[in-house]
């Protein structure tokens, strides 16, 4: 960090070791003096970025691959630094920087790992998503990507990416359509568990593809075919006839799919 607040620069001018974490007294003071801890945090941000570069990767690559802001990485590194100060035993003779690097890297990696299954839009993408949502509200429908790009004076590729990451996570209990005969809302779990067919077009094709993609690696070819038939609207009897299996097996397969989907849902919930 090149530009420190004026009071920190003044203290460093008096002594370059004023905020040094190699000085045991400074570490002990950080444990009891929150203001001094904050100043040390700012004065030692180079340790955070050194840890990121050496053990995690280039910040710009992390931002691109994990949909986080550079500021988010810094805040996570600061949390790791603070945890290191609180946990550091000054009597063990270990160098603080070595101890802190581990805590900083762990904090950032845990966040990136835990957030990997959910797309998290960057601040810039969120702003664009909000603009698109306002535009849709104002005109009463969602225009085509080229039209949105013209209306918002944005690049079409950015619009496409914003629309992709702006789609919310789907859950098993969310409505996917309505049973016309019974005037009853249908959820995806109803579709999977029920032996009755549903009206054509109830399930959005993109959503169907996403459902299949989320579980297909854990299904055999026959099980995948059964799932596709059921999501296409065929009832249990029709699916059994088409795939030349018993209705009992169709039922077992759909229960297996339900368990897989429930497991996937649990992993995305915060």
Rounded average pLDDT over 62-67: 78
Q: Which two tokens stand for residue 43?
A: 């004065």
Rounded average pLDDT over 54-72: 84
> What b/e readout covers 48-83, taking b as 16+ CB neighbours within 10 angstroms?
bbebbeeebeebeebbeebbbeeebbbbbbbebbbe
CB 80 within 8 A of CB 100: yes
Rounded average pLDDT over 72-82: 92
Query: Is 1 a residue whose pLDDT tops 50?
Result: no
So where are the chain's domains? 6-114, 123-165, 175-268
CA neighbor of 192 nearest in space, from 92, 262, 269, 264: 262
- Quick one: which H or E segment has residue 179? strand 175-179
The reported pLDDT for the residue numbered 2 is: 57
The reported pLDDT for the residue numbered 165 is: 63
Q: Which two tokens stand for residue 87?
A: 């946990």
Q: How far apart are CA 220 and CA 245, in angstroms?
A: 14
Of residues 174 and 8, more confidence is placed in: 8
User: pTM of the full predicted structure?
Assistant: 0.45
Q: How far apart are CA 226 and CA 228, in angstroms?
A: 5
93-142 pLDDT per residue, tens: 888 988 899 899 989 988 887 665 445 566 777 788 888 888 877 776 77
CB 148 within 8 A of CB 154: yes
Highest mean pLDDT among 45-54, 57-66, 67-76, 219-228: 45-54
Cα 122 → chain centroid:
11
Confidence of residue 62 (pLDDT cuts 50, 70, 90): confident
212-258 pLDDT per residue, tens: 666 777 888 888 888 888 777 777 888 888 888 888 888 888 888 77
The reported pLDDT for the residue numbered 130 is: 83
The reported pLDDT for the residue numbered 75 is: 92
Which residues touch 230 (CB under 8 Å, ≥6 apart)?
191, 192, 236, 239, 250, 254
Query: Is 207 a residue whose pLDDT tops 60?
Result: no
Mean pLDDT estimate for the chain: 77
16-44 pLDDT per residue, tens: 999 999 999 999 999 999 999 999 999 99
Can you list the alpha helix ranges (DSSP code H) found in the chain?
Answer: 6-14, 24-32, 34-43, 45-55, 59-66, 70-87, 96-114, 123-139, 145-152, 156-165, 188-193, 205-215, 221-231, 236-243, 247-268
The reported pLDDT for the residue numbered 81 is: 95
Q: How far apart are CA 215 and CA 262, in angstroms?
A: 11
Confidence of residue 92 (pLDDT cuts 50, 70, 90): confident
Q: Which two tokens stand for residue 234?
A: 């065929």
Highest mean pLDDT among 8-12, 181-185, 190-194: 8-12
């Amino acid at each position: 960090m090149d530009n420190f607040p004026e009071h920190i620069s003044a203290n460093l001018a008096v002594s370059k070791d004023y905020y040094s974490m190699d000085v045991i007294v400074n570490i002990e003071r950080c444990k009891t003096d929150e203001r001094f801890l904050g100043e040390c945090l700012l004065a030692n941000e180079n340790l955070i970025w050194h840890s990121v570069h050496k053990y995690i990767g280039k910040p710009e690559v992390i931002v691109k691959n994990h949909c986080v802001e550079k500021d988010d990485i810094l805040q996570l590194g600061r949390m790791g630094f603070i945890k290191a100060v609180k946990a550091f035993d000054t009597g063990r003779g270990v160098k603080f920087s070595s101890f802190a690097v581990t805590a900083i890297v762990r904090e950032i990696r845990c966040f990136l790992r835990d957030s990997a299954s959910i797309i998290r839009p960057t601040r810039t993408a969120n702003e664009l998503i909000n603009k698109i949502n306002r535009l849709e509200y104002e005109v009463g429908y969602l225009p085509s990507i080229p039209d949105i790009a013209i209306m918002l004076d944005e690049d079409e590729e950015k619009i496409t990416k914003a629309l992709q990451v702006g789609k919310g996570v789907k859950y098993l209990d969310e409505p996917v359509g309505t049973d016309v005969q019974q005037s009853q809302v249908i959820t995806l779990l109803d579709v999977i568990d029920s032996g009755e067919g549903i009206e054509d077009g109830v399930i959005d094709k993109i959503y169907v593809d996403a459902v299949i993609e989320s579980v297909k690696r854990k299904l055999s070819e026959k099980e995948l075919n059964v799932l596709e038939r059921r999501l296409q609207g065929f009832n249990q009897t029709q699916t059994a006839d088409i795939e030349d299996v018993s209705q009992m097996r169709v039922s077992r397969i759909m229960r297996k799919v339900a368990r897989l989907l429930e497991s996937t849902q649990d992993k995305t919930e915060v």
